[in-house]
Structure 1
Amino acid sequence: MSAIPDRSMANAFLPGRGHLSPENEALVARRARVLGPAYRLMYETPLHLVRGEGVWLYDETGRAFLDAYNNVASLGHCHPRVVEAIRAQAGVLATNTRYLHTTILDCAERLVARFPAPLSQVMFACTGSEANDLALRIAKAHTGGTGVVVTEHAYHGITEAVAAFSPSLGAAVPLGPHVRTVPAPDRTRAAPGEVGAAFRADVEAAIADLRRHGIAPAALVVDTMFTSDGILPGPAGFLRGAAEAIRAAGGLFVADEVQPGFGRTGEAMWGFQRHGVVPDMVTLGKPMGNGQPISAVVMRPDVVERFGREARYFNTFGGNAVSCAAALAVLEAIEAEALQANALRTGRHLLERVAAVCAPHEAVGEVRGAGLFVAVEFVADRADGAPDAARAARVVNAMRERGVLISISGRHHNSLKIRPPLVFSRADAELLAGVLAEALQATA
Structure 2
Amino acid sequence: MARYNCRWGNAFIVYRVLLALLILYIMVCMNLNTKTESTPEALPESNNDLFVANGRWINDSYAPTPTFFWKQHDDSFWNRLQLQIDRPFNPILHLKNITRDFENITFHDTLLRDSFLDVLDTNSSRENFEELPETMQLFVNHMQKRDYSTIIQPKGVCGAGVENQKEPPLILMAIKTTMLNFKNRQVIRRTWGKEGWVAGHNGSGAYVRRVFLLGTEDTESLAQELLHLESDRYRDILQWDFMDTFFNLTLKDVLFWKWFSHHCNGSQFVFKGDDDVFVNTPKLIIYLQGELINKSQTLNEFMVGDVIGSAIPRTDNGSKYFIPESFYKGLYPTYAGGGGVVYSGLLTKRLHRVSKGIHLFPIDDVYVGMCMLHLNAYPIHNPAFLTFRFSGKEEQEPCAYHKILLVHKRSPDQTVELWKDLKRTMRECWDVPFRVGSKRKTM
> What's the TM-score, normalizing by structure 1?
0.27
- Give the number of the structure whose residues are more often helix, by fraction: 2
Question: Which one has more relative contact order, counting CA pairs under 8 Å at least 6 apart?
Answer: 1
